Amino acid sequence: MFERSEDLFKRAQKFIPGGVNSPVRAFKAVGGTPVFFEKAKGAILTDADGNEYIDYVGSWGPMLLGHAWPPVIEAVQKAAEKSTSFGAPTEVEIELAELIQKMVPGLDKIRMVNSGTEACMSAIRVARGYTGRDKIIKFEGCYHGHGDSFLIKAGSGALTFGTPSSPGVTKGTAKDTLTASYNDLEGVQQLFDEHKGEIAALIIEPVPGNMGCIPPADGFLQGLKKICASEDTVLIFDEVMSGFRVAPGGAQELYNVQADLVAFGKIIGAGLPVGAYGGKEEIMKVVSPTGPVYQAGTLSGNPLAMHAGLALLSELHNNRAIYGELDQKTTHLEEWLHRIFKHHEIPHTMNRVGSMLGIFFTDKPVTDFNSASQTDVEMFKEFFHGMLKRGVYLPPSAYESLFLSNALTQEHLDQTVAAADEVAEVMAERMNKN
């Protein structure tokens, strides 16, 4: 079934580290050979062997309306004919900035970059430049791209500062990143008390999608805002996943909390390489060339990416019904999976925010990194491969959220549910034998 993918993977490994250009694609978390894709349309992916799959990854978010959505393709084609890059300003950059400002609360100024990583790195630098402080707080299990400051895990024992989670990140960098536990407001307050006047920024995924999907507890985001305001710390929402997905205005709109800076990526470029960060005028004015904090990019505001983003976001802005439809489809899937797992007596927990869905094999609630790491990864692997064989492409890791697209039809959902029922039955049989 996967012969050509297997050949391609072997070939890729000769030239590309691990055969992939981003680690999660290598299937290390689920085992087996990564599927190489050839094309996709709407909710259906076609791999290099000609197998078709119902897609629940959506390029990790951007394909909110499905793959090869005609207005995006048309916009990219038209833009390409007029040149793929100028390295100079264009009108479409203003149009996209204006539209985003209409959709997202509190964005006085926005700067385009090329990835979510860049957006988060830059937001941190701006917060440090603005406050004149060095330290940041991040949350265990939240992912903000591969910038040095974010590849830090909590220190052990009495250490309040972190240690690098990747070789190549210096101890010097690690000492400026403090780690808190998601949904633990008291822990955050404690870090602030221990580091009075030292914390430039607190960065958080308001709806984490990088440890499955975890909703913020009632009042958690509001509590962070209050603490940050009283400590003059810049509150940064990393909405690279949640932005334009959980609501047109992202988590800020959904939970009615406003951050000082917001980072975007994924959906904002409709599948082209884009990120952006923005926020309050007072903070954004420190960014070069208005202010002294340097941040630049040869391909930033790239015309193909801007036109693609404009086409997608215009639709999301003009047609809010999309969000209700996505909600309904995701709820439907969640309810059916729940019924199936329950019927087969498979311990499970599901977390959903809008069209983000986390499936965890555990009988306990999953509210932070600690509880997410105690789920049964072996069961997830079994579920993942069972679904893959039956034509359903789930995120290849127990620690990633599903992202639904509005191209999914009732028929796709029914097929997915039928596949899940078969897989759950096999899993239950194996569990009973053991």
Ligand X SMILES: *Cc1c(COP(=O)(O)O)cnc(C)c1O
Name the residues annotated as catalytic. 143, 238, 266
CB of 187 to ligand X, least distance (A): 20
Between CA 149 and CA 164 the distance in angstroms is 9
Between CA 358 and CA 418 the distance in angstroms is 19
Q: Which residues bind ligand X (CB under 6 A)?
A: 115-117, 120, 143-145, 205, 209-210, 238, 240-241, 265, 275
Q: Is 288 helix (H, G, I), strand (E, B) or coil?
A: coil
Residue by residue, DSSP assigns 112-152 as EESSHHHHHHHHHHHHHHHHT--EEEEETT----S-GGGSE
Nearer to ligand X, 104 or 120 (CB): 120
CB of 342 to ligand X, least distance (A): 30
Query: 315: how many CB neighbours lie within 10 A of its CB?
Result: 17
Nearer to ligand X, 251 or 407 (CB): 251
Q: Which amino acid is at 92?
A: V
Chain residue whose CB lies nearest ligand X: 116
Phi, psi of 348 (to 5 degrees): -155, 155
Nearer to ligand X, 210 or 371 (CB): 210
CB of 401 to ligand X, least distance (A): 9
Q: Is 79 helix (H, G, I), strand (E, B) or coil?
A: helix
Scanning 299-408, the segments in alpha helix (DSSP H) are: 303-318, 321-343, 369-373, 377-389
32 exposure class (CB count in 10 Å sphere: 0-12, 13-18, 19+):
middle
The two tokens of residue 311 are: 């086409």
- Asked, as a colleague might, if the bond just before 289 is cis with ω within 30 of 0, I would say yes
The two tokens of residue 409 are: 């039809």
Between CA 207 and CA 237 the distance in angstroms is 9
Nearer to ligand X, 24 or 44 (CB): 24
The two tokens of residue 112 are: 């385009």
CB of 182 to ligand X, least distance (A): 13
Nearer to ligand X, 192 or 277 (CB): 277
Between CA 359 and CA 110 the distance in angstroms is 34
CB of 382 to ligand X, least distance (A): 26
Q: Which amino acid is at 392?
A: V
Between CA 382 and CA 377 the distance in angstroms is 9
Nearer to ligand X, 205 or 334 (CB): 205
Nearer to ligand X, 19 or 208 (CB): 208
CB of 290 to ligand X, least distance (A): 25
CB of 4 to ligand X, least distance (A): 27
Residues whose CB is less than 8 angstroms from the CB of residue 185 and which lie 6 or more positions away in sequence, other chains included? 219, 220, 223, 224, 227
